[in-house]
A and B are shown apart, each in its own frame.
Chain A
Amino acid sequence: MHTIVCIKQIIDPEIPADQFKLDASTKRQVRGGLSLVISAYDQNALEVALQLREKVGGKVTALCLGESGAMGAIKTALGMAVDEGVLVSDPPLLESDPFGVVHILAKAIQKIGVPDLVLTGCVSGDTGDKVMGPLIAEELGLPCVTFVSKVEVKDGKALVRRIVEDGYELVEAAFPLVVSIISDDSNVPRYSKLKDIMVAAKKQVPTWKTADLGLDGERVGAGAARLQMRDVSIPERDSKCEILDGETPEERAERLALRLRELKVI
């Protein structure tokens, strides 16, 4: 079983509000001194891939399109004991919209060799489109299942747990398959072992550029974007919270109930 996990490197999405800044001209977040991380659900996807390897064998490859510094994300994945990494990094490519990104990722997946399983996060922590999994499936002509927390292999087929509005579904599909991963208690990302981090540091990771992938120039870069970003702003939060006091917690609880009654919400 070969699994390719698509990982995106992003600025830590859980920083406090006062550290979040936008660049007025690029309309993107300002990096500043903030730390970079592998987008949250991609870490869960790595965990799913590693658990699968433990069960059925095979190998796991981490694939990232990003700045040259995204080599750090690949190294982090290798530190979790992923077998191989591939970085695609070429500045003009980073301006691509999701249809450009999917073209690049699909070309890279084909160059690696289409695996049994392609995993993505269900949503990236910055742009947050929730589209890349299904787009990769279309681009490669593969079936897909989204918002999956668990992947098992049964009788040579995938049996996955898909989270839906009112619970979950078990969905069966043949390989090769694209799955987007959501978190639950079964795929909490593991900590790296020191030994694996040391191996990762020495591991050779190829960096591919436009020419290595035979990309269609019409599909990538800022010029190909199908939507234009007109504006981005940080909404104001007018905090007018009425803090209920009282001598004891019980008094405060009682006041809360009475206020809710006054407001006719209970």
Chain B
Amino acid sequence: MTDVLIVAGGQGNPPSQNTLELLGAARRLADATQGRVKAAVLESAPTPLTAGLFGYGADQVFRAEHPLLNGYQGDVYVAALSQIAAQAAPQVILLADDSCGKEVAPRLAHRLNAGLVTEVLAVEGDGPAVLFRRQMYGGRTIATLAAQRFPVVATVKPRTMTPASELAGRTGEEIAVALTLEASLVRTKVVQKVAEEVRGVKLENARVVVSGGRGLKGPEPFKQLEELAQILRGAVGASRAATDAGWVPASWQVGQTGKTVSPDLYIAVGISGATQHLAGMTGSKTIVAINTDPDAPIFKVAHLGIVGDYKAILPKLLEKCRDLTQG
């Protein structure tokens, strides 16, 4: 019997995409072992999230309401989740591998004296053990890790798990958790938030992603990529070479350290296809590569490719895509 606790994010109903993916993974693992799916909700005031969680597969919701839970703060989240975990007593705790989950999961595992595995691509029961798959060596390998002790805290790589679907009329048990949290716990404070992805769709949710790399040789050509993304109603991404050069914001990075995307269409322009980049985009349905080097590794994962200079290719591609999508 494997009881799984997921840490729900967002506030709405239906729950956020990350939360649905956690619920999907948790439900499959629990069902295979006659376990239960539990969800932790951290909020400063009631939201529709709890109802949504039942509809998408949670058996129990541990609802913790506290004024300090007004937005993510690491120290408070770790303290709150430690207390919820003590009450819910799960074998497996799943968090989304997003900027909060990445910070919280190791700290929570340390406090719970638990196992820890990050960026999980698949999880399944194996008798009394639980198996996790994840990439290692910058995406060059896939490792299977068996939990030796419980609980085990795991972060789930976004856009890799099948999300839960809604089961109409499904309900569950809501459990109010009385947290002991002091304001003195708070040791870090966000003094300013700067949103950089303003235009169009969010990169991680986009159905079309147009990414640029070092081959563009500067920030200017990204304007053309933005134009193409706009025509295709997509978002612009980049390789680490391009973000490190400061051509585009760091939050546009796709890959091991950046975002994982799995759009219907991924267009890589001037990107060689290092494994660390591929780690973030090989889930894309159709991959297009535009590169001067016919031996670039990106052609090993691409479905369609053009060997050539982007400078000669992009203007015509823009024109033709505009014609086709407006016609």
Contacts and interface: CB of A to CB of B under 8 A. Distances in A.
B: contact size bracket: 35 or more
A239 B301 contact: yes
A263 B286 contact: yes
A: contact size bracket: 35 or more
A188 to B, nearest CB: 7
Interface of B: 74-75, 98-99, 102-107, 110-111, 114-119, 131-132, 135-138, 140-149, 152, 187-197, 202, 204, 208, 232, 240, 243-246, 249-251, 256-257, 259, 264-265, 274-276, 285-286, 288-289, 294, 297, 299-309, 312-317, 320-321, 323-325
A227 B110 CA distance: 14
A265 B233 CA distance: 11
Interface of A: 13-14, 16-17, 20, 22, 27, 29, 41, 98-99, 102, 122-123, 125-135, 137-139, 143-147, 149, 159, 162-174, 182-186, 188, 225-235, 237, 239-244, 248-250, 252-254, 256-261, 263, 265-266
B321 A266 contact: yes
B187 A174 contact: yes
Contacts of B259: 165
A131 B118 contact: yes
B152 A227 contact: yes
A171 B188 contact: yes
Contacts of B116: 98-99, 129, 131, 226-227
A185 B244 contact: yes
A145 to B, nearest CB: 6
Closest 10 CB pairs of A and B: A185-B246, A249-B312, A257-B320, A143-B187, A253-B316, A167-B196, A138-B110, A131-B106, A134-B106, A226-B115
Contact of A253 (B98, B251, B303, B317): B317
Nearest to B298: A241
B304 A146 contact: no
A161 B286 CA distance: 35
Q: From DSSP, what is the main secondary structure of chain A's interface residues?
A: mixed
Contact of B299 (A130, A171, A241): A241
